[in-house]
């Protein structure tokens, strides 16, 4: 098939433009996302690992911090893998702390056998912790 002359001209223009960009690259206009030159070794920020071991609460009503990893535990509309260990029906055999009574209390104070909908998304209140520098100043003091 014979190429239309316009297409050949466009292709040639694209090649010229492309090599133009390549020259610009070498001139050092391209930077990595961390703003390092592209031939420099990428430096990573220090990885702050999650603290393990139970952490004392800072105030009486605090949702306790999670002392184990959570990235493998799915929580969505139909599944909650935290319950496989923490629900009152499983906690004994799994050696995990049982959800307290407040997690089985309905909106109107009624006692439920299954975890309350208001407590379904555990990580809304419970989070793991790392010993990382504070992102913003925090002057919190616990009440006594």
- Interface with ligand HEC by CB under 6 A: which residues? 54, 61, 63-64, 66-68, 70, 73, 80-86, 94-97, 99-100, 102-103, 115, 119, 121-126
**Which of 34, 94 has the CB closer to ligand HEC?**
94
**CA angle in degrees (0–180, nearest 5) for 16-18-24:** 105
Residue 68 CB, nearest approach to ligand HEC (Å): 5
- Cβ distance 130 to 48 under 8 Å? yes
Distance CA 18, CA 24 (A): 10
Residue 15 CB, nearest approach to ligand HEC (Å): 54
**Which of 45, 76 has the CB closer to ligand HEC?**
76
Q: What is the CA radius of gyration of the chain?
A: 28
Residue 45 CB, nearest approach to ligand HEC (Å): 25
Torsion angles phi and psi, residue 111, rounded to 5? -85, 130
**Which of 25, 114 has the CB closer to ligand HEC?**
114
- Give me 70's structure tokens: 């959570």
**Which of 50, 96 has the CB closer to ligand HEC?**
96
Residue 104 CB, nearest approach to ligand HEC (Å): 10
Distance CA 55, CA 58 (A): 9
Helix (H, G, I), strand (E, B) or coil at 94: helix
């Amino acid at each position: 098939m014979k190429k239309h002359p316009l297409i050949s001209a466009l292709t040639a223009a694209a090649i010229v433009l492309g090599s133009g960009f390549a020259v610009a690259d070498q001139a050092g206009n391209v930077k990595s996302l961390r703003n390092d030159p592209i031939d420099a070794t990428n430096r990573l920020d220090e990885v702050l690992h999650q603290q393990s071991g139970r952490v004392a609460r800072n105030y009486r009503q605090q949702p306790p911090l999670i002392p184990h990893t959570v990235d493998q535990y799915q929580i969505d509309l139909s599944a909650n893998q935290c319950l496989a260990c923490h629900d009152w029906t499983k906690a004994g055999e799994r050696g995990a702390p049982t959800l307290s009574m407040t997690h089985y209390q309905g909106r109107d104070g009624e006692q439920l056998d299954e975890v309350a909908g208001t407590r379904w998304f555990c990580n809304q209140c419970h989070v793991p912790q790392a010993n990382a520098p504070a992102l913003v100043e925090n002057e919190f003091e616990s009440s006594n």
